[in-house]
């Protein structure tokens, strides 16, 4: 098991890609601390991991609450004495172009998709520096490297995650800490509901995916979990400051 004895925190791990990433880390030997604002969803992820023989626990955390996020991370370190992996995954889509997007929606998108990543990384960094090692994985999106139709809040924040990732990586490589970004493309989860609404429904999004993605289909969460495992494990030990796009070829068209 390539993550044996590692301690991982995964935010937004109550469903979708976050759950799949947490599960594969646990499968490979990590103890996974599931952060999600929905206690029921977080508990379901933990039950899935425990049922497969892994180790995990759930913490109900709203990552946009600075005090709650900081306290939760520090309590994990207090309990386990280490934090080896932080996967900043919690995020949200907010639809709308420059004129239509709600200001509060833009602010929520920034706070959740960027600021929470920043604060979580800032909180774990002293622990990782003291240990002389650590991995931070920030979830961006294929929307962080291309135009995304009338989604200015989402694309702005996901581009910002990439810039922040590169900055962190350059600043902290000398401490043995790696920082990379994951850019998923179209993965069929409820996360996409805002864009689906904007396009006009399920039939429209299916046609969009067939047309825009060279592979002509959605990804399954399991196809994103494997790249997550690569980026948080020693398999990518000489990789930092990089952006791994998993999008069925959309960004090359």
Residues with a catalytic annotation lie at 154
14 phi, psi to nearest 5 deg: -80, -10
Q: Counting Cβ atoms within 10 Å, is residue 181 exposed (0-12), middle (13-18) or buried (19+)?
A: buried
Q: Could you tell me which residues come within 8 angstroms of residue 181 by beta carbon, excluding any fewer than 6 positions away?
A: 137, 138, 139, 140, 144, 161, 162, 165, 242, 243, 244
CB 100 within 8 A of CB 85: no
Under DSSP, the state recorded for 217 is S
Other Cβ atoms within 10 Å of 237 Cβ, number: 10
Residues β-bridged to residue 244: 182
**Of 35, 42, 31, 36, nearest to 8 (Cα)?**
31
CB 228 within 8 A of CB 87: yes
Tell which phi-psi region holds residue 195, choosing left (phi > 0), alpha (psi between -120 and 50) or beta. Answer: alpha
Q: Coil, helix or strand for 110?
A: helix
How is residue 33 written in tokens? 């601390």
């Amino acid at each position: 098991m390539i993550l044996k004895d590692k301690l991982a925190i995964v935010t937004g791990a109550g469903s979708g890609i976050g759950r799949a990433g947490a599960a594969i880390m646990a499968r490979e030997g990590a103890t996974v601390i599931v952060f999600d604002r929905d206690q029921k969803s977080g508990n379901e992820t933990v039950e899935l991991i425990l049922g497969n023989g892994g180790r995990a626990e759930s913490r109900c955390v709203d990552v946009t609450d600075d005090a709650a996020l900081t306290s939760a991370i520090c309590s994990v370190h207090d309990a386990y004495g280490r934090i080896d992996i932080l996967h900043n995954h919690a995020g949200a889509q907010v639809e709308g172009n420059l004129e239509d997007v709600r200001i509060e929606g833009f602010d929520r998108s920034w706070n959740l998709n960027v600021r929470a990543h920043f604060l979580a990384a800032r909180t774990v960094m002293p622990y990782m520096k003291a240990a002389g090692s650590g991995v931070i994985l920030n979830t961006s999106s294929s929307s962080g490297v291309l135009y995304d139709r009338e989604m200015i809040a989402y694309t702005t924040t996901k581009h910002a995650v990439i810039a922040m990732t590169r900055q962190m990586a350059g600043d902290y490589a000398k401490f043995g800490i790696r920082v990379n970004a994951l850019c998923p493309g179209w993965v069929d989860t409820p996360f996409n509901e805002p864009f689906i609404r904007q396009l006009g429904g399920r039939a429209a999004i299916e046609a969009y995916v067939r047309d825009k993605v060279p592979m002509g289909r959605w990804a399954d969460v399991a196809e994103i979990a494997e790249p997550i495992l690569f980026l948080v494990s020693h398999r990518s030990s000489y990789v930092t400051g990089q952006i791994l796009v998993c999008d069925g070829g959309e960004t090359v068209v």
